[in-house]
Structure 1
């Protein structure tokens, strides 16, 4: 018997304790730092929890995270049907998530992908010795929130949400009172830190601003926790080299996908 329901608080707490954070960082973030705004739809087979879809509606697109213990136990079409009915999303809507290799094969087998997947590396900081000692950037103050939001959106930072400026520290570099580089965090607390939205205007690249910003943000993260992460597209080789130079190493290789609930 296959059934679906919203997860109870007790079940969410159990998942938080048992999940491998590094291999399931997106889903872990839903369980912890995004918990208040996320819904968790669980699939049960003969009373056993086999899969979970976490759902957030406050992104510019329907954002999901997916977790399962064994892909061979998952009835994915049934889970998608229930999720579509629960959320009220049209079957043509394009959703987004990040999947590991086996989960990607599962979604592909059911023809859910709408675009080719993008390789994505989750990197963890492991060595402080090569971080730069720099203080070129300044913390973004409230009166600049609108300007830095526009700067990051124009730079294609589609995973940036303006409320992150309230929850997390952001830093930027200005020239003639205009932002030329900025960056901050997706998450910033003692459970883990994830750098994100690091962007340099194309006219100012080659000056080392990205390396400087990443160093300064990493130093800031170290003040809270030893679990410091960032994500980068697998095709962005210059950025990967830069992060490795600063003491980051790949913790997990996953895929960003666009998919439908149909």
Structure 2
């Protein structure tokens, strides 16, 4: 929900009703204060048609629901910070308005479900049970580990990409080139010296792949190896192996 926009709609209705106090209504991004104002001055809307009064009240309901959901998310984060600072469940029980450490633990897990829904907004709503939350946390932890492994694999490939490309360029004179292969090797030579960012790495990989394909097509077309020296042949084989992975 775009809460400030909804507050703006409420403000417009109060202005339309010529609410004499509307200038004291908090700003659109001060949702809680604006709601308290709208509740206190709801009578000012009686000049409007019943349909508009109803729309304003429904908007208030929606905004309170939004704040309730956001409060759960932020309270869950506060509990996590308290636990990270070695707060015991017995200490958190009164803060969470429950009577026992076990009840504090269970309520914290229910709050954590709201935080997880906020972290993964496109997923199915999470059941508010400790078991469901623990399972979701384990699933998210596995996903993060897989993402980290994928990132590390990508970084490793990037570290290998540059020397493979450089080696092929070093033995360029030992290759038979046509116009296509020469063009792509020129592109590799252009980007390689300043290849730092992820986008540049992707471009370098694309250019190297295109160069390898061009050399392979040239071999197929001429039925002759494009490598005129052993070193050029090894460099080309290494590049072809890399781009095929």
Smaller-chain TM-score bracket:
under 0.3
Q: TM-score when scaled to structure 1?
A: 0.20
Larger radius of gyration: 2
Give TM-score, length-normalised by structure 2.
Answer: 0.21
**Structure with greater strand share of residues:** 1
